[in-house]
């Protein structure tokens, strides 16, 4: 239980550090109102299963998909009769990699149809192909030692690419692209594979000296898996692989960082003038991560992102209505920005 809740990490010390390094962002009242908000140390395989279902999805639906996945492929855990004898409640465990992979493999040509039939839609291929890749590694991927994991994934990628004709990404819309062409597009959830060329190139030429090598390496390894883009890789890294400095980024997190960074704020202003939203490319993702790591040094920027993200949720906003951020001209502008963005 202590490990699952990361109780070895002192929230008191973290909050004290953040109030010192970022007093304009993380206030004493915020620290008081956000007691107990922690990043969980979740099972890495279960975390990956959840985030493979996260693209273009919402939390209630992801929760339902995971229930259906466990019921269809996991071992029974517990059955309790309902009062009055009207049916029963049943709980199933998450399927292990071997259980899910072997059942999908035995399905032959129909291996994706069952996943699709229980609501996974186009995400069915994410699970089928990810299981195939991980089972090829004979237990190496997602192991406790991350370096062999990444080397193993890269080697499998090299083997899988041999003899395959390279396809060039066409300009224009994403509609009508073939599966392989989409899989070779970098910076998009559900891509992975060929898109790593850009990531690998940026590993050495990164403009940020604050990005720990392990954060980059873990993301590189995970992005070899089908259906894993930058955001999903960082989510799995933070919540399942104890990479506490990983900062998952979406449009909401970008908007937070743009309040503190002039460069991101200018990018947001230009996009707004053009009637467009800022595209969270890999470069933007990296910049946002850098902004968070500069504001919250010490190796726990991902925790800071999680706490601040929770502060944006309606259930927490009322408790923090009187924080300095919400007062005065600056607070009014921040609230107006969130309202226009629909946050």
Q: Is the pLDDT score of 109 beyond 60? A: no
Which residue carries 């000296």 as its tokens? Answer: 209
What is the arithmetic mean of pLDDT over 153-170? 55
Q: Which two tokens stand for residue 206?
A: 């990164």
In this predicted structure, the answer to whether residue 245 has a pLDDT above a threshold of 60 is: yes
Please name which of 219, 242, 230 lies closest in space to residue 42, comparing C-alpha atoms.
Answer: 242
- pLDDT category at 33 given cuts 50, 70, 90 is confident
Q: Point out which residues pair with 89 in neighbouring strands.
A: 80
Q: Has residue 151 got a pLDDT over 80?
A: no
Q: What angle do CA 249, 252, 258 make, to 5 degrees?
A: 85
Residue 152 has pLDDT above 80, yes or no: no
DSSP string, 149-170: HHHHHHHHHHHHHTTPPP-PPP
Distance in angstroms (rounded) separating the CA atoms of residues 167 and 190: 17
The runs of H, that is alpha helices, within the chain are 11-21, 28-33, 44-52, 59-73, 97-106, 113-115, 124-136, 146-161, 179-183, 196-205, 213-222, 230-240, 251-258, 262-273, 282-295, 301-311, 314-317, 328-341
pLDDT at residue 48 tops 60: yes
Range of lowest pLDDT (51-55, 114-118, 191-195): 191-195
Query: Is residue 321 over pLDDT 70?
Result: no
Tokens of 232: 């999903």
Lookup result for tokens 């990956």: 48
Using DSSP bridges, classify how beta strands 88-92 and 76-81 pair: parallel, antiparallel or unpaired: antiparallel
Given a cut of 60, whether residue 269 has pLDDT beyond it is yes
| Residues in CB range of 68: below 8 A, 6 or more apart | 118, 119
Kindly state the average pLDDT of the residues 243-248. 94
Is the pLDDT at 319 greater than 70, yes or no? no
pLDDT band at 189 (very low <50, low <70, confident <90, very high): very low
> How much is the pLDDT for 215?
82
How far is Cα 35 from Cα 47, in angstroms, rounded to an integer? Answer: 24
pLDDT band at 190 (very low <50, low <70, confident <90, very high): very low
Q: How far is the C-alpha of 233 from the C-alpha of 222, rounded, in Å?
A: 6
- Which band of pLDDT confidence, cut at 50, 70 and 90, is reported for residue 337? very low
Query: What was the pLDDT predicted at 132?
Result: 86
How crowded is residue 96: how many other Cβ atoms within 10 Å of its Cβ? 14
267 burial via Cβ count (<10 Å: 0-12, 13-18, 19+):
middle
């Amino acid at each position: 239980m202590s490990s699952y809740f990361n109780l070895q990490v002192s929230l008191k010390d973290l909050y004290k550090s953040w109030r010192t390094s970022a007093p304009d962002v993380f206030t004493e009242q915020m620290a008081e109102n956000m007691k107990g908000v922690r990043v969980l140390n979740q099972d890495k395989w279960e975390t990956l299963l959840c985030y493979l279902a996260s693209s273009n999805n919402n939390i209630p639906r992801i929760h339902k998909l995971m229930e259906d996945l466990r019921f269809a492929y996991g071992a029974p855990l517990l059955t309790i009769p309902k009062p009055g004898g009207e049916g029963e409640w049943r709980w199933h465990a998450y399927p292990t990699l071997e259980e899910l992979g072997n059942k999908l493999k035995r399905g032959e040509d129909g291996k994706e149809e069952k996943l699709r039939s229980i609501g996974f839609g186009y995400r069915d291929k994410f699970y089928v192909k990810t299981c195939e890749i991980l089972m090829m590694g004979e237990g190496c991927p997602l192991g406790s030692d991350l370096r062999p994991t990444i080397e193993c994934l890269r080697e499998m990628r090299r083997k899988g690419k041999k003899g395959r004709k390279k396809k060039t990404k066409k300009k224009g819309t994403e509609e009508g692209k073939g599966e392989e062409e989409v899989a070779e597009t970098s910076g998009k959830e559900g891509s992975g594979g060929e898109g790593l060329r850009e990531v690998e190139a940026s590993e050495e030429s990164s403009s940020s000296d604050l990005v720990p090598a392990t954060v980059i390496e873990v993301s590189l390894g995970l992005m070899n898996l089908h259906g894993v883009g930058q955001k999903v890789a960082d989510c799995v890294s933070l919540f399942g692989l104890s990479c506490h400095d990983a900062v998952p980024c979406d449009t909401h997190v970008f908007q937070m960082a743009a309040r503190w960074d002039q460069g991101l704020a200018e990018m947001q202003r230009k996009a707004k003038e053009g009637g467009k939203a800022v595209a969270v490319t890999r470069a933007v993702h990296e910049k946002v991560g850098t902004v968070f790591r500069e504001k919250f040094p010490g190796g726990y920027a991902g925790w800071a992102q999680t706490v601040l993200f929770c502060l944006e949720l309606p259930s927490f906003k009322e408790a923090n209505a009187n924080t300095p951020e919400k007062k005065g001209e600056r607070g009014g502008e921040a609230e107006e920005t969130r309202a226009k963005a629909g946050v």
